[in-house]
Amino acid sequence: MSTTRDSVQTALTGKPRRWFVTGGAGFIGSHVVDLLVSAGHEVTVYDNLSLSTDRYIAPYVHDKRITFHQKDLLDLAAVTEAMAGHDIVFHLAANTDIPSGFTKHRIDLDNDVVATWNVLESMVKTGVKELLFSSTGAVYGESIQGTFSETSGPLLPVSLYGAGKIGSEAFISAYCNLFGLRAWMYRFGNVIGERTNHGVIYDFIAKLKKNPRELQVLGTGRGEKNYFLVEECIHGILYVHGKVPDGPFPVLVNLGTDSTTQVMDISKIIIEEMGLSDVRYAFTGTPRGWPGDQPVVLLDTHKIHELGWYSRRTSTDAVRTAARRLLGTDQFRLTVDTLS
């Protein structure tokens, strides 16, 4: 990482704030917590641990700067009570097990839309004004040709997860208009790094550890997406938050790299990093990897570039780094000094 202090690092080490982080025990959220605490902020983690464990926040158990509520966002009274006294909400909790929507039809409605509505309602009740929201490139669906920019449409998602995120964005926008909230909404590419418990890199490593001779690939292997590291994601969020401080509408940006990596190339990188050879491939051959999968997601990142933010690594470099971290050959901890 660069040793030159940038605007995000400088802003973080300014006046300490009280952050309310939903999903703070999860993959991205636990990195956010490490970063904020390292910069001297107070953090409340609100997470029901449905998709995570307390492993990454447990080390803070005696740290007075962190409060942990193992509670559900579907409990409005509990969210409101826990949120009182904070300055800003970092809303990361959601159903991130996208395939589960195929069998549990309410899961995205509840954990994306209703959970977000409860966050918004709690903000109005407690007077917290600022919201950072993690949306996704999955909102664009497949009817749009070419790359997806923030003005692309119509938004016709192919997963209940994508639908839940559009619903959340819509409620956030209306709450900003009616109740004076300010929101920054980020449509992420694929965020990767250690601590993740899903996604293609995690999945390939787990499969190859079990059977180093054969790799089962969901779909055709021709999927192609934008992959970027978790610290770049968090940096981009905070950069845009600092750069576009206010406005009548929520700030909406795609956040990711401007390059992509194909599934087959990911598999080759992982095989190489694991020191394997002669691995046989077995393809399920279905057009989608799983119900709701969108094999090709090409995000247009011009808008965030115009704001002055670029990811530092290409998608393929990020895949290799994430593979190394998941394999334990590369260690990384996000702090205000390693962020840039």
Ligand X SMILES: NC(=O)c1ccc[n+]([C@@H]2O[C@H](COP(=O)([O-])OP(=O)(O)OC[C@H]3O[C@@H](n4cnc5c(N)ncnc54)[C@H](O)[C@@H]3O)[C@@H](O)[C@H]2O)c1
Binding site for ligand X (CB under 6 A): 23, 25-29, 47-52, 72-74, 92-96, 111, 115, 134, 136, 188, 190-191
SS3 at position 251: strand
The least CB distance from residue 62 to ligand X, in Å, is 21
Strand ranges (DSSP E) for the chain? Answer: 18-22, 42-46, 66-69, 88-91, 130-136, 182-188, 190-192, 214-217, 224-225, 227-229, 251-255, 261-262, 280-283
Please answer whether residues 298 and 147 qualify as being in contact, where contact means their C-beta atoms are separated by less than 8 angstroms.
yes
Q: Which is nearer to ligand X, 72 or 258 (CB)?
A: 72
The least CB distance from residue 330 to ligand X, in Å, is 19
Q: Which residues pair with 45 in a beta bridge?
A: 21, 68
In the numeric block, which tokens belong to residue 176?
């900003």
The least CB distance from residue 3 to ligand X, in Å, is 28
In the numeric block, which tokens belong to residue 98?
């996208």
Distance CA 79, CA 91 (A): 12
SS3 at position 271: helix
Q: Which is nearer to ligand X, 93 or 217 (CB)?
A: 93
Q: With the C-alpha atoms ordered 168, 170, 171, 176, is the resulting torsion angle positive or negative? A: positive
Q: Which is nearer to ligand X, 95 or 321 (CB)?
A: 95
Q: Give DSSP secondary structure letters for 272-286.
A: HHTT--SPEEEE---
The least CB distance from residue 186 to ligand X, in Å, is 8
The least CB distance from residue 211 to ligand X, in Å, is 26
Please answer whether residues 269 and 275 qualify as being in contact, where contact means their C-beta atoms are separated by less than 8 angstroms.
no
Catalytic residue among 56, 161, 175, 227: 161
Q: Which is nearer to ligand X, 52 or 257 (CB)?
A: 52
Q: Which is nearer to ligand X, 111 or 301 (CB)?
A: 111
- Judge whether 186 counts as a catalytic residue: no
Supply the residues annotated as catalytic: 161
